Structure 1
Amino acid sequence: MRDLPQMQTIYARARALMAANGNPTQWGTQFPRESVIIDDIANQRTMLLVDTIGGHERILAQFALCPGKDPTYASIDGAWLDNDTYVTIHRIASSGLVRHAARDCIKWALKHYGNVRADTHPNNKAMQHVLESSGFARCGLIQLVDRPTDTTRIAYQRHEW
């Protein structure tokens, strides 16, 4: 919880960056809400990539690592690579302090869990590039179930066999 203010700052930066790069609606001006971030922390889904400089720890990137079946992924216009157990990366954001921090988070998840899924907005070209350059396959389109509009997302998966 002590990292919550810094995490909120990183998410605010990510929202501004997405909007400036042609993706103003994926996270809008409010997502993820504080209650979502707190819920991720309380349920031990929050993952932080940190380093220490001069005795001061700083967050380089953050994401939610969600084990178990994601209900949003039950229906896909396309096909997943397999139906094996997987984890999902959600709400990934970089602080901008170092290059490739999001890629480092993804690499860590693959190393520790092997079968990883993620999704992103069709306008989020940066995240599409990160996922595809990290070896993820574009599996199809999914529809978010928790909002009334702007629901289409591109679904990705990588399974380390």
Structure 2
Amino acid sequence: MVNDQVAGVATLAHDPQANYQNISDGHWDVTDQPYATIHRLALSSEFRGMHLSNYLMSNLISIGVEQGMQNFRIDTHAMNKRMQGLIKSAGFHYCGMIDKGDEVQERLGYELNL
């Protein structure tokens, strides 16, 4: 929220993601512990340039830690360079390709382990 306006949204899910079982061209580093997944991260263009994406990502990770999570996963499309930059700046590293069912839906999978 910025000045009582919704600036961004995201989902922090704690349930295992079925699509994350099918990873190719790599592997998840931690497979024997629960993880939280960050989905649908979006910010309003009205707040562009305020670096709110970094703030939102940091808060999502902090909330996850408060809820007992130490491992986080996220994915994005190969053409989404801005999201890839945000993901990497938050400390995530590339683990492999996530198969969402067809070639168009393939995503880059990232993981952060604290």
Q: TM-score range by the shorter chain?
A: 0.7 to 0.9
Deviation at 1:100, TM superposition (A): 2.0
How many residue pairs are counted as aligned between the two chains?
Answer: 105
Which of 82, 86, 99 is the matching residue for 1:130?
A: 86
Larger relative contact order, structure 1 or 2 (CA cutoff 8 Å, min sep 6):
2
Identify which of 105, 109, 114 aligns with 1:155. Answer: 109
Structure 1 ranges of 4+ moved more than 3 A: none
Question: Which position in structure 2 is the counterpart of 1:80?
Answer: 28
Distance 1:151 1:102, change over 3 A: same
Q: Which residue of 1 aligns with 2:15?
A: 68
> When the two structures are superposed, what TM-score results if normalisation uses the length of structure 1?
0.61
CA distance in 2, matches of 1:119, 1:128: 9
Alignment deviations for residues 69-127 of structure 1 (CA, whole Å, 9 cap, x no partner): 00010111111120221111111111131522222221112212232110000000000
Q: For structure 1, list consecutive stretches of 5 or more residues without a partner in the other structure.
A: 1-49
Letter in 2 for 1:69: P
**Pairs within 5 Å for 1:1-161:** 50-51=1-2, 53=3, 57-77=4-24, 78-83=26-31, 84-96=33-45, 97-98=47-48, 99-113=50-64, 114-145=70-101, 148-160=102-114
The structure that has the greater radius of gyration is 1
For 1:102 and 1:139, the matched residues in 2 are separated by 22
Q: Distance in 1 between matches of 2:53 and 2:36?
A: 16
Query: Structure 2: which 5+ residue stretches go unaligned?
Result: 65-69
The whole-number CA distance in structure 1 between the counterparts of 2:14 and 2:72 is 10
RMSD (CA atoms) = 1.5
Normalised TM-score (structure 2): 0.83
SS of residue in 2 equivalent to 1:59? coil
Identity level (%): 29
Once residues 85 and 103 of structure 1 are traced to their aligned partners in structure 2, the CA distance between those partners, rounded to angstroms, is 24
